[in-house]
Copies of this chain bind each other. A is one copy, B any other.
């Protein structure tokens, strides 16, 4: 609710489908593991198993990058590692700033996966003056007053927001104004950014809620096949079902079963 405009223009970049891009890091990780074990070549079948996808999908994914395999043999591990790294832009290393050094920010700062593959934590930034100068994961925290200066001096184009939701948008605005064009957002807010800025969102509670949805379905099916509102009749805590505005009574409400019997005042 600040800069306006929408987010994530579904870039489609050059030819490579977004779904494929999202899997390249998976392949890269599996390949790196093979590389460390000095495995020279790998088939689509083996690599797919290691990455947790099916082999046809993997081959199609690789076909967007070019013909990097050898028929009858498979893929050369080192060569593929290099090609995928290059495609993902990991042959250069990206300076990243992390804003908001609470537990989550500290976890991110210390996360090995950052430093190891193409990313370098250029700065940790926090608004709390008590944090300033304190080293976290070996890097001294800087005060958010200096945010713009840090970003410009280090040429940072990727920012990670790990602040409370309340300040995420304004942090985002400052990052963008200072030149950041990619943002990884851990705050549970929808960020609005200008066109040309990418936002990816990691939301812990959303993931859990999706799990809860499936979990509920499992629970419903194992006892009796159709028992939708049964669960909240049993544990009659939490949310009470409010009536719809003009509840005139006639219209279909809900796919099966109507509004539960318990009603608010």
Assembly CA distance A203 to B246 (angstroms): 45
A246: nearest chain-B partner, CB-CB: B70
* B21, B102, B117: the one within 8 Å of A107 (CB): B102
Please state the number of chain copies in the assembly: 2
A66-97 interface code vs B (CB 8 A; 1 in, 0 out)? 11101001001011011101111111111010
Decide yes or no whether A56 CB sits under 8 A from chain B.
Answer: no
A198: nearest chain-B partner, CB-CB: B214
Decide yes or no whether A237 CB sits under 8 A from chain B.
Answer: yes
> Which residues of B lie under 8 Å from residue A70 when comparing CB positions?
244-246
Assembly CA distance A253 to B66 (angstroms): 6
> Which residues of B lie under 8 Å from residue A107 when comparing CB positions?
102-104, 106-107
> Which residues of B lie under 8 Å from residue A184 when comparing CB positions?
204, 207-208, 211
A23-50 interface code vs B (CB 8 A; 1 in, 0 out)? 0111011100000000011000000001
A103-122 interface code vs B (CB 8 A; 1 in, 0 out)? 11011101101100111000
A30: nearest chain-B partner, CB-CB: B190
| A-B contact list, 21 entries, CB within 8 Å | A22-B210, A25-B205, A26-B190, A52-B192, A66-B252, A66-B253, A66-B255, A67-B251, A86-B241, A88-B213, A92-B216, A106-B107, A113-B205, A114-B205, A117-B209, A118-B212, A119-B212, A158-B208, A160-B208, A184-B211, A200-B207
Which residues on A are within 8 Å of B, measured CB to CB? 6-7, 11, 13-15, 21-22, 24-26, 28-30, 40-41, 50-52, 64-68, 70, 73, 76, 78-79, 81-83, 85-94, 96, 102-104, 106-108, 110-111, 113-114, 117-119, 157-158, 160, 181-184, 188, 190, 192, 196, 198, 200, 202-219, 229, 231-232, 234-235, 237-246, 251-255
In the complex, besides A66-B255, A82-B240, 7 extra interface pairs with C-beta distance below 8 angstroms are A13-B214, A13-B217, A67-B253, A86-B241, A92-B234, A103-B103, A118-B209
